[in-house]
């Protein structure tokens, strides 16, 4: 299996840490993984995106040009990456913040109110976990358990209650696509 | 041994150096290698080492000259324009035979260029870099795990031969995260014997001098011949490479670092379709592993070079093959990253007789 994923949104939405979590989850399941951030003059409130590859074979390039899956957390990300998605690819859109809809007819687009669901869980900062939960459930590229087990490994200073909250957010996202 | 962990390339090479006994780092920020000094700024004090953010690249490399003169394992890092600034100091370290270690996380050039991944500094790295007749040992990792494990080998060779050593990476290898397992336990530098050339302050024993020149008539020529002897020994003993599926190959794909990853995966993909693709990559760029190319040139008709520069690496492939085989080149400079799809497509074309990419 090979999944090239682009996760994109505002700086501060946990795009980079979410991408690292996805890669970490793949790693503890014994897969080949890479994580590659858009780097340089990034800032909070600006755009942030990263590429993650989860694969059964060694990964050639960590740069994902044509993703198999797109995790779209804000409006500008849809316009920027929509065309790059592979035919038959999967797009998960945070409909809480994205008003536009994908015009592609050759892909699967799932709209989930990711930010609203995160607030329901108890903290809007868990929106990245919600969309990862939905992605994991939908594709099986990584398991829900592996995601949950990665939280404390990536967020090294997270308290036990924060870890629990993030686990709930992952479940919330998974439920949204069940 | 350490557990498997997910690390960024820049942090991996820094941690690898610390575990290999590095206790002094001086550097100056530049993207895409900033995580190296950032990491060292908290990690070295933990081990009782010293981190200095210098006022410039020139200051940083000269701080290394000093710290290395007393036998300490030292490191600096930068990216292309910053490494250019350090070249004068590297040249001085080379002639004074100081075992410094440094990393170039190459970005697009020339000039300021951009912050994207590139392999445009191949000539600079493998031909010495600064002024004068000298070489440095150059390791080219292709994974974050190699970024983590190569510093130990670099220090061992640096001290064995008294020569500067470097890791030549690029923006991808510096910025990406991958699983890492260290292949060695952390080394406490107190186990190292102080080298017999290291300065010790004003002790009354025999006088030791670290210097970069000898102005007496004819002496500088002798000095250079002495250095050459060492370089010849390194050329003979230290080339390292990886070669896969070479026995039945109709074509050899070759590249180093990030480009090697692409070559390797194209080989695997092509083999599934019955294409007889072999793959060779140098692990040391200097000394260049000439012998494997020489040997393969006797039996393989086509070589396909992939590099993220305008035909630099290919020069060493050409010199090694010495006109024996057809050489094809695919080049993607200053932020262009070859994809598996495009390299596989080109490989198919070359195998079917297309000469479009033929350069020699």
pLDDT of B1 over the 60 cut:
no
The dihedral over CA atoms of A103, A106, A112, A113, expressed in degrees to the nearest 10, equals: -10
At residue B200, the pLDDT reads: 85
* Token pair in block for residue B29: 């920020």
Residue B120 pLDDT grade (very low, low, confident, very high; cuts 50, 70, 90): very high
* B204 located within any domain: no
At residue B17, the pLDDT reads: 98
Residue in the structure block whose two tokens are 């008294």: B162
SS (H, E, C) chain B: CCCCEEEEHHHHHHHHHHHCCCCEEEECCCCCCCHHHHHHHHHHHHCCCEEEECCCHHHHHHHHHHHHHCCCCEEEEECHHHHHHHHHHHHHHHHCCCCCEEEEEEECCCCCCCCCECCCCHHHHHCCCCCCCCCCEEECCCCHHHHHHHHHHHHHHHHHHCCCEEEEEEHHHHHCEEEECCCCCCCCHHHCCCCCCCCCCCCCCCCCCCCCCCCCCCHHHHHHHHHHHHHHHHHHHCCCEEEECCCCCCEEEECCHHHHHHHHHHHHHHHHCCCCEEEEEECEEECCCHHHHHHHHCCCCEEEEEECCCCCHHHHHHHHHCCCCEEEEEECCCCCCCCHHHHHHHHHHHHCCCCCCECC
Identify whether residues B113 and B178 lie together within a single domain.
Answer: yes
* B332 located within any domain: yes
Residue A35 pLDDT grade (very low, low, confident, very high; cuts 50, 70, 90): very high
* B220 located within any domain: no
Tell me which chain B residues have a C-beta less than 8 angstroms from the C-beta of A60: 261-262, 264-266, 339-340
Average pLDDT, chain B: 95
Q: Looking at B233, B254, B284, which one is the last position of a domain?
A: B233
At residue B206, the pLDDT reads: 79
Q: Looking at B186, B208, B233, which one is the last position of a domain?
A: B233
B6 closest CB neighbour out of A24, A36, A60 = A24
pLDDT of A44 over the 80 cut:
no
Condensed to tens digits (0 to 9), the pLDDT of residues A52-85 reads: 999 999 998 898 989 999 999 999 999 999 999 9
At residue B272, the pLDDT reads: 94
Total number of domains constituting chain B: 2
At residue B204, the pLDDT reads: 65
Q: Please judge whether A35 and B340 are an interchain contact, meaning their C-beta atoms are less than 8 angstroms apart.
A: no
Radius of gyration over every alpha carbon of chain A, rounded to an integer in angstroms: 15
Minimum CA–CA partner of A42 in chain B: B31
* B213 located within any domain: no
pLDDT of B360 over the 90 cut:
no
Q: Does A84 touch chain B (CB under 8 A)?
A: no
When pLDDT is averaged across residues B111-122 and rounded to a whole number, the result is 96
Q: Where are the domains of chain A?
A: 2-176
Identify whether residues B183 and B246 lie together within a single domain.
Answer: no
Identify whether residues B140 and B256 lie together within a single domain.
Answer: no
Rounded-to-integer distance, Cα B31 and Cα B79, Å? 7
- Quick one: what percent of chain B has pLDDT higher than 90? 92
Condensed to tens digits (0 to 9), the pLDDT of residues B286-338 reads: 999 999 999 999 999 999 999 999 999 999 999 999 888 999 999 999 999 99
* B58 located within any domain: yes
Identify whether residues B91 and B151 lie together within a single domain.
Answer: yes
Q: Please judge whether A58 and B339 are an interchain contact, meaning their C-beta atoms are less than 8 angstroms apart.
A: no
Instruction: Find the chain B residues whose C-beta atoms sit closer than 8 A to any C-beta of A.
Output: 4, 6, 31-32, 115, 171-172, 175-179, 258, 261-262, 264-266, 268, 337-340
At residue B297, the pLDDT reads: 95
Asked if B336 and A61 touch (Cβ cutoff 8 Å), the reply is no
* Token pair in block for residue A120: 């329901």
Tell me which chain B residues have a C-beta less than 8 angstroms from the C-beta of A27: 4, 6, 179
* B214 located within any domain: no
Q: Does A43 touch chain B (CB under 8 A)?
A: no
Condensed to tens digits (0 to 9), the pLDDT of residues A124-143 reads: 999 999 999 999 999 999 99
Count chain A–chain B contacts defined by CB atoms under 8 A.
Answer: 63
Condensed to tens digits (0 to 9), the pLDDT of residues A79-125 reads: 999 999 999 999 999 999 999 999 999 999 999 999 999 999 999 99
The residue among A139, B98, B287, B88 whose CA lies nearest residue A147 is A139
When pLDDT is averaged across residues A154-161 and rounded to a whole number, the result is 93
Element (H, E) at A110: strand A108-112
Q: What is the largest CA-CA distance in chain A?
A: 43
pLDDT of B242 over the 80 cut:
yes
At residue B260, the pLDDT reads: 97
Q: Please judge whether A39 and B115 are an interchain contact, meaning their C-beta atoms are less than 8 angstroms apart.
A: yes
Condensed to tens digits (0 to 9), the pLDDT of residues B247-268 reads: 999 999 999 999 999 999 999 9
Residue A42 pLDDT grade (very low, low, confident, very high; cuts 50, 70, 90): low
Minimum CA–CA partner of A21 in chain B: B6
Identify whether residues B31 and B143 lie together within a single domain.
Answer: yes
* 3-class secondary-structure state, position A53: strand
Q: Does A30 touch chain B (CB under 8 A)?
A: no
Condensed to tens digits (0 to 9), the pLDDT of residues B47-103 reads: 999 999 999 999 999 999 999 999 999 999 999 999 999 999 999 999 999 999 999
HSE-up (13 A, CA, CB side) for residue A14: 20
Rounded-to-integer distance, Cα B271 and Cα B259, Å? 18
Radius of gyration over every alpha carbon of chain B, rounded to an integer in angstroms: 21
The residue among B182, B111, B117, B188 whose CA lies nearest residue B153 is B182
Burial of B235 (0-12, 13-18, 19+ CB in 10 A): middle
Q: Does A136 touch chain B (CB under 8 A)?
A: no
When pLDDT is averaged across residues A161-169 and rounded to a whole number, the result is 96
Please report, for the domain that includes residue B347, its CATH number: 3.40.50.920
Cis peptide before B132 (omega within 30 of 0): no
* B247 located within any domain: yes
Closest Cα of chain A to B144: distance in Å?
A: 10
pLDDT of A51 over the 80 cut:
yes
Closest Cα of chain B to A17: distance in Å?
A: 12
Identify whether residues B189 and B252 lie together within a single domain.
Answer: no
Asked if A26 and A111 touch (Cβ cutoff 8 Å), the reply is no
DSSP label of A137: H
Q: Please judge whether A40 and B265 are an interchain contact, meaning their C-beta atoms are less than 8 angstroms apart.
A: no
Domain that holds residue B169: 5-199+228-233
Q: pTM of the predicted model, to two decimals? A: 0.95
* B54 located within any domain: yes
pLDDT of A47 over the 90 cut:
no
At residue B262, the pLDDT reads: 94
Cβ contacts of B125 within 8 Å, gap of 6 or more? B104, B136, B138, B166, B168, B285, B286
CATH number of A2-176: 3.40.920.10
Tell me which chain A residues have a C-beta less than 8 angstroms from the C-beta of B178: 33-35, 59, 62
Please report, for the domain that includes residue B48, its CATH number: 3.40.50.970
At residue B318, the pLDDT reads: 96
Q: Looking at B176, B209, B233, which one is the last position of a domain?
A: B233
DSSP label of A123: -
Identify whether residues B163 and B264 lie together within a single domain.
Answer: no
pLDDT of B279 over the 90 cut:
yes
């Amino acid at each position: 299996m090979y999944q090239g994923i682009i996760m994109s949104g505002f700086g501060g939405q946990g795009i980079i840490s979410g991408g690292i979590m996805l890669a970490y989850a793949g790693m503890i399941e014994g897969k080949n993984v890479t994580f590659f951030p858009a780097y340089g003059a990034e800032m909070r409130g600006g755009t942030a995106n990263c590429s993650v590859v989860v694969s059964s074979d060694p990964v050639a390039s960590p740069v994902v040009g044509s993703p198999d899956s797109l995790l779209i957390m804000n409006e500008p990300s849809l316009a920027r990456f929509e065309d790059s998605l592979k035919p038959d690819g999967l797009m998960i859109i945070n409909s809480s913040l994205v008003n536009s809809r994908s015009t592609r007819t050759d892909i699967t687009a799932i709209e989930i109110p990711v930010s609203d669901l995160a607030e329901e869980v108890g903290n809007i900062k868990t929106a990245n976990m919600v969309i990862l939960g939905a992605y994991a459930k939908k594709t099986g590229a990584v398991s829900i358990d592996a995601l949950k087990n990665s939280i404390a490994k990536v967020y090294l200073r997270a308290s036990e209650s924060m870890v629990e909250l993030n686990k709930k957010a992952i479940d919330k996202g998974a439920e949204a696509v069940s | 041994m350490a557990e498997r962990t997910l690390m960024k390339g820049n942090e991996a090479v820094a941690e690898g150096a610390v575990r290999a006994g590095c206790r002094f780092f001086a550097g100056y920020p530049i993207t895409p290698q900033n995580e190296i000094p950032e990491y060292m700024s908290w990690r070295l004090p933990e081990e009782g080492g010293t981190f200095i953010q210098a006022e410039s690249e020139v200051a940083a490399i000269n701080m290394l000259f000093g710290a290395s003169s007393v036998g300490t394992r030292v490191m600096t890092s930068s990216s292309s324009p910053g490494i250019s600034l350090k070249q004068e100091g590297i040249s001085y370290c080379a002639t004074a035979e100081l075992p410094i270690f440094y990393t170039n996380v190459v970005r697009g050039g020339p000039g300021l260029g951009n912050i994207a991944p590139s392999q445009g500094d191949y000539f600079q790295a493998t031909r010495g870099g600064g002024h004068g007749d000298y070489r440095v040992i150059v390791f080219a990792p292709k994974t974050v795990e190699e970024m983590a494990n190569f510093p130990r080998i670099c220090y061992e060779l640096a001290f064995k031969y008294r020569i500067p050593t470097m890791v030549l990476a690029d923006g991808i290898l510096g910025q990406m995260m991958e699983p890492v397992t260290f292949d060695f336990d952390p080394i406490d530098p107190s186990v190292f014997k102080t080298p017999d050339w290291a300065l010790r302050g004003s002790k009354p024993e025999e006088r030791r001098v670290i210097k970069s020149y000898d102005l007496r008539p004819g002496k500088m020529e002798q000095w250079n011949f002495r250095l050459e002897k060492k370089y010849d020994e390194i050329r003979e003993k230290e080339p390292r490479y990886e070669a896969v599926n070479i026995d039945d190959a109709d074509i050899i794909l070759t590249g180093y670092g990030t480009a090697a990853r692409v070559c390797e995966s194209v080989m695997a993909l092509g083999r599934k379709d019955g294409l007889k693709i072999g793959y060779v990559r140098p692990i040391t760029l200097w000394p260049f592993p000439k012998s494997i190319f020489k040997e393969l040139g006797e039996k393989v008709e086509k070589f396909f070079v992939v590099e993220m520069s305008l035909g630099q690496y290919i020069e060493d492939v050409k010199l090694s093959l010495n006109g024996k085989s057809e050489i094809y080149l695919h080049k993607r400079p200053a932020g262009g990253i070859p994809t598996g799809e495009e390299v596989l497509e080109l490989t198919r074309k070359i195998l079917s007789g297309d000469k479009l990419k033929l350069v020699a």
